[in-house]
Amino acid sequence: MTPPTTVPVRRALISVSDKKGLLDLARALVAHGAEILSTGGSARALREAGIAVRDVSEHTGFPEILDGRVKTLVPQVHGGILGRRDLPAHVQQMEEHKIAPIDLVAVNLYPFEATVASGAGPEDCIENIDIGGPALIRAAAKNHAHVAIVTDPAQYGEVIAALENGGTTLAQRTKLAGAAYARTAAYDAAIAAWFAGQEGEVLPPRMILAGEKRESLRYGENPHQKAAFYTDGSTRPGVATAKQIQGKALSYNNINDTDAAFEAVAEFDEPAVVIVKHANPCGVAVAPTQAEAWDRALRCDPVSAFGGIVALNRTLEAEAASRIAGIFTEVIVAPDATAEAREILSRKKNLRLLLTGALPDPAAGGVVVRSVAGGFLAQTRDSGRITPDALKVVTKRAPTSAEMADLIFAFRVAKHVKSNAIVYVKDQSTVGIGAGQMSRVDSARIAATKSADAAKEAGIDHPLTQGSVVASDAFFPFADGLEAAIAAGATAVIQPGGSIRDDEVIAAADKAGIAMVFTGMRHFRH
């Protein structure tokens, strides 16, 4: 038989943890002649509001037991939900066992994710694993030909409108059923991830990804691609947790680039500015003031900075805001901004200002995922950080203290540059960045060329790389890449080491009289 198109709601079961919008939904149900069955806190909230409600235990003739763990897991409830109204055998059995049909189920689940996020202990987390709720949701969703399943207060408006038109339509119930299964899948994914974490498994045998659509985007990387932004419930400060103060809606590329910029700027303790273009830093600097850090970061590559993303690791101040607003900038992201800075930027109506409230911890763990045909790759976040005592001097000359500080700075920047990455640094500012080349020597040469162009732009009569240090995200497979850096004016080098030709590369460094240190740690970024 063909399922009915419109199903009036004569009986509804309500059991919700999130009480938002509950009274509006319940009043609409009662106004349209529905009997409401409910439990626990939901029933209490309805009664306190003067809404007629019948306890599930009264309806079933079976009391809530085991501290409320068992209250809806009974045939009178699940039979009322799962029974098919179009099958005479089902109708007959429901009548024989005095099982009344239930036409709408409104359930949202125990707040397991919020409980975990609060730092609660294992016992509290386990008690917030909902059992009856998912069972009700899945039952109603399965029988959506006859039953409407409502799992989110955001759906109440649509349901109330349907009641005004005589009941829910099959199209509406199908849509609600799909959303219901997505919700229970995400809930189970969160529980599975928590159990894996309890066992110390970062990459468990079965990984389940779940996200909630935050917004649909105009398009993806290109206008012919569809895109949306999903959040996964994690609390790592960044673009997903930020509050947008002003500006146009973020694009797919804006979100990707902003994430890259904010993760990079969090590497530094001093006031820092990172400028990103197409997911690569094109200028990074630290300085005593934000304004100076901005000026020095911009000097590295003022051409690429046009239309870029700017990240800061301090509350944005007025002077820095004024200078940043002096060129076309897509997004500024910072932990906060002063009232004066906000007022200055408000004059740039299209500029997006994002405030995150905090910085991400570069040393914190986590998993990053990338899709491939037929599956996805997962790896732990690159949280590696080098310190001076971890470095191995491999040349006859050791770096000076100033060079050592710049080397560490350069290697931290290289961690955020697409491979093959070469980063020249002088006085805690990038002066040349080569990114994403197939050959490391090409990255070294491109960075030097861009440095020369930037020097000309600034009216400086020598390349900015003269007297700089240089970082390579991975080892030099041949001496030619190092020789290109030496030709650009580098006086010290930091690289992971580990090539079969390390001796050849070290010999080239010694011949030029420069210092070189090995980190033993690689920072590939693809």
In order, the DSSP letters of 177-197 are HHHHHHHHHHHHHHHHHHHHH
- Cα–Cα distance measured from residue 198 to residue 195, given in angstroms and rounded to the nearest whole number: 5
In terms of domains, do 11 and 144 share one? yes
In terms of domains, do 47 and 141 share one? yes
Q: For the chain, how are helix, strand and coil distributed in percent, rounded to 5?
A: 40, 20, 40
Classify residue 364: in a domain, yes or no.
no
Distances (CA, A) of 61 to 95, 100, 363: 16, 13, 56
In terms of domains, do 394 and 332 share one? no
Classify residue 227: in a domain, yes or no.
no
Among the listed residues 148, 446, 162, 412, the one whose alpha carbon sits nearest the alpha carbon of residue 301 = 446
In terms of domains, do 285 and 404 share one? no
Classify residue 504: in a domain, yes or no.
yes
Classify residue 326: in a domain, yes or no.
yes
- Active site (annotated) includes residue 142: yes
Beta bridge partners of 70: 65
Classify residue 218: in a domain, yes or no.
no
Q: Are 467 and 455 in contact (CB under 8 A)?
A: no
Catalytic hit among 90, 248, 278, 348:
278
Helix (H, G, I), strand (E, B) or coil at 113: helix
Range(s) of the domain holding residue 457: 390-518
- For residues 274-290, b (16+ Cβ closer than 10 Å) or e, as one string? bbbbbbbbbbbbbbeeb
Task: CATH number of the domain at 145, please.
Answer: 3.40.50.1380
In terms of domains, do 273 and 350 share one? yes
- Active site (annotated) includes residue 32: no
Catalytic hit among 32, 142, 248, 348:
142
In terms of domains, do 326 and 471 share one? no
pLDDT along the chain (526 residues), means of 10: 76 91 94 90 90 80 64 75 87 84 92 90 92 92 94 94 93 95 93 90 88 94 96 91 96 97 97 97 97 97 95 98 96 98 95 97 91 92 90 97 97 96 97 94 94 88 92 95 95 96 96 97 93
Burial class (CB in 10 A: 0-12, 13-18, 19+), 123: exposed
In terms of domains, do 288 and 178 share one? no
Q: What is the pLDDT of residue 169?
A: 94
The last residue of a domain, from among 355, 376, 408: 355
Q: Are 516 and 493 in contact (CB under 8 A)?
A: yes
Q: Which amino acid is at 486?
A: I
Alpha-carbon Rg for the chain, nearest whole angstrom, is 30
The last residue of a domain, from among 198, 227, 258: 198
Q: What is the pLDDT of residue 56?
A: 77
428's enclosing H/E stretch is none
- Cα–Cα distance measured from residue 270 to residue 212, given in angstroms and rounded to the nearest whole number: 35
How many domains is the chain built from?
3
pTM of the model: 0.86
- Cα–Cα distance measured from residue 28 to residue 9, given in angstroms and rounded to the nearest whole number: 11
In terms of domains, do 428 and 504 share one? yes
Task: CATH number of the domain at 446, please.
Answer: 3.40.140.20
In terms of domains, do 185 and 61 share one? yes
Classify residue 259: in a domain, yes or no.
yes
Classify residue 375: in a domain, yes or no.
no
In terms of domains, do 26 and 165 share one? yes
Specify whether the backbone of 182 is left (phi greater than 0), alpha (psi in -120 to 50) or beta.
Answer: alpha
The last residue of a domain, from among 307, 335, 355: 355
Classify residue 346: in a domain, yes or no.
yes
- Cα–Cα distance measured from residue 135 to residue 384, given in angstroms and rounded to the nearest whole number: 43
Q: What is the pLDDT of residue 5?
A: 80
